[in-house]
Amino acid sequence: MRDILATEFEATFGPETANRWATRHLLEAADLTEQSKAMLAGELQICLETAFDLYIEARSVGYRLGIRRLDAARGEHWRRISGANTQSAKRVWTRALGSPFFYDIEREDVLLALEKIRNLPKGHGKRRFAGDKNEGKIREEATVSQRIGVTTFLKIGRAARQVGDFLAELELAEANPFDVCSWSTAEEARLRQQERLSETRDWSEAVECYLSSPMFKGDMRNVGDPLFWIPLLMRLGGLRLDEAVHLTIRDLQYRDGMPVICIDRYGKTPAARREIPVTRRLQDLGLVDLFELRRDQKETLLFPQLAEGRPGSGSTRFRKDFIRYCETHGIDASALHAHDFRRALHHTLLEQECPDPVVRNVMGQVSRDTWSKFLNDSLLQTVQQALSKAGAGLPDIVGPNR
């Protein structure tokens, strides 16, 4: 019967008006709350919060523009996939704008709210600020590394635009003030590029901050402190964290009088076999002397203290000590990860326009099929020069020999 009525209405008033009428009619007859039914009937003015509620209810029962019957299965699928995110977007927007009547919202208000939302801290939906006088408000002091990512920001903005489109489609609102929450592919790409540049500045500054901490000014716990040597091995040698943690005294060898660290780990990648020169700076700081000390101590590992307790837990033990040291010395551990030291080396090599074969050899990205070529020719000297140049801009570091 509804299909027949919708067909007759379309013949009389046109397809667009008929679609709108049919959708309104179906929603009014659906199992919605009394509040939603009152808004559909025009008996209750719609504010921002209730607009989201109506949209969520409508989508959950299978609403789509132009349908002739509600699709319960599609509605349940939407509720499971998108319902929680839309609820989260509702909370964000009501914190940013309050809950004014929908027709009172201006586009300028939406643009100002978007600026606040862009600075929303990560994990905003999971945090509880018990006893906080500013609970429920968006905090504007979040740093770039602490704020939500571009993907989350775009989802929050687009959710509001969809709610506004929904109200406009059903003629429950004259216009959609959230139509400014629309980003072209080029605009989205620019936002993501800005985010990557900001993140790079954050972790590169954090790396420099760590290498300027008391540990590197002479305040070492002992001559073989992993918190001192492992970051330097990654930053000045390109070692991976697991490779540095599990170095053995046999890994230090010599080629034509040059000390090299021989990495031959089959566990992680096929590109793990390579020889890394020990740069002059690492030699001056005492890395070769540390290998000799461990040999005299009859130790197998360069960092035996990380192997204590459960076998294979060296990297986990280092990470815990690393985070504890950062927190003790006021370094933002959330903006600095162990891998960032190796990443800083990679960026420096690229900025210096180092030849690609050298970069790949330093970073362990040479395939096993060709590794012998790189180990048996003059590229080892070139790698030594590239590593030395890439470490020239670091802060002055005091090693155990000074």
Same domain, 256 and 229: yes
Q: What is the pLDDT of residue 309?
A: 60
Same domain, 177 and 208: no
How is residue 94 written in tokens? 């009501």
Structural domains of the chain, count: 2
Among 177, 198, 219, where does a domain finish?
198
Same domain, 351 and 291: yes
Residue 184 lies in a domain: yes
Same domain, 229 and 174: no
Residue 136 lies in a domain: no
Same domain, 256 and 221: yes
pTM confidence score:
0.54
Same domain, 148 and 262: no
Among 172, 198, 224, where does a domain finish?
198
Residue 5 lies in a domain: no
Q: What is the pLDDT along the chain (402 residues), one digit of tens a residue?
A: 444 444 443 444 444 544 555 667 778 777 788 998 888 888 899 999 999 999 999 999 888 776 677 888 888 999 999 999 999 999 999 999 888 999 899 988 899 899 889 888 876 655 443 344 444 444 444 445 567 888 899 999 999 999 999 999 888 988 999 999 999 888 888 888 777 666 555 677 888 889 999 999 988 888 999 999 999 999 999 898 989 999 999 999 998 888 999 887 654 444 456 788 899 999 999 999 999 999 999 999 999 988 766 555 788 889 999 999 988 988 877 778 888 898 889 888 888 888 887 887 788 766 555 544 444 556 778 888 888 888 887 888 988 865
Same domain, 176 and 214: no
CATH code of residue 267: 1.10.443.10
Distance CA 234, CA 344 (A): 9
Distance CA 314, CA 297 (A): 20
Same domain, 328 and 269: yes
Residue 31 region by backbone torsions, left for phi larger than 0, else alpha for psi between -120 and 50, else beta: beta
CA 60 to chain centre: 30
Same domain, 188 and 217: no
Distance CA 372, CA 304 (A): 31
Same domain, 287 and 379: yes
Residue 4 lies in a domain: no
Domain that holds residue 111: 15-123+143-198
Residue 7 lies in a domain: no
Q: What is the pLDDT of residue 381?
A: 82
Distances (CA, A) of 315 to 241, 273, 387: 7, 20, 24
Same domain, 76 and 222: no
Chain position carrying tokens 């048996």: 376
